[in-house]
Amino acid sequence: MTPTILTFEGTTPMIDDTAFLAPGARVIGDVHVGAESSLWYNVVVRGDGNYIRIGKRTNVQDGSVIHISTGTYPTVIGDDVLIGHMAMVHGCTLHDRAFVGFGAVVMDGCVIESDAMLAAGAMLTPGKRIPSGQLWSGRPARYMRDLSPEEIAGNQKGVAAYVREAGRHRKAIAEQG
């Protein structure tokens, strides 16, 4: 199984040669994926009514969905962003070094600033903004506490680990022919 890259209404995704797209990943329409970023198994990135931009060294983990709000909000994801397994990221902005936990939902018009975190399972409702350095949790999400410098540094170690992990998977897939 290979990743699926589909042109939609004349617009073909632009994916950096160093990005990793796992088998089963789907990338559709007006999508740009930056250098050393990774879209893992069964991720869907669908830019069919607005655009999606994913920066460098960002990873979108297994089963996540990245979409837009048609005609209203694009989805813009910065560099060094971690998006956990089964997350839903929709018509929003994730600044450099933002973190979205497993199964979290980020809705239309939301912003997660640099070094901010949305906890696993949380739902950031439309138009909310998580300021830099804060952890938000719950459904609906609300401020819980400030992140420690160690937690912020740990998230960035996770970015580097996913760049390495993508290389390992690329090699394993190539060896299977």
- Whichever domain contains 86, its CATH number is 2.160.10.10
pLDDT in tens, 69-123: 999 999 999 999 999 999 999 999 999 999 999 999 999 999 999 999 999 999 9
Q: What's the number of domains the chain is made of?
A: 1
Q: Residue 160: helix, strand or coil by DSSP?
A: helix
Task: Using alpha carbons, select from 115, 14, 100, 12 the residue that is nearest to residue 59.
Answer: 100
Which tokens go with 111? 């912003």
Separation in Å, CA 113 to CA 77, 151, 156: 10, 15, 15
Q: What is the pTM of this model?
A: 0.96
Q: What is the pLDDT of residues 151-170, one digit of tens each?
A: 999 999 999 999 999 999 99
Summarize the confidence of residues 22-32 as an average pLDDT.
98
Q: Domain range holding 28?
A: 4-175
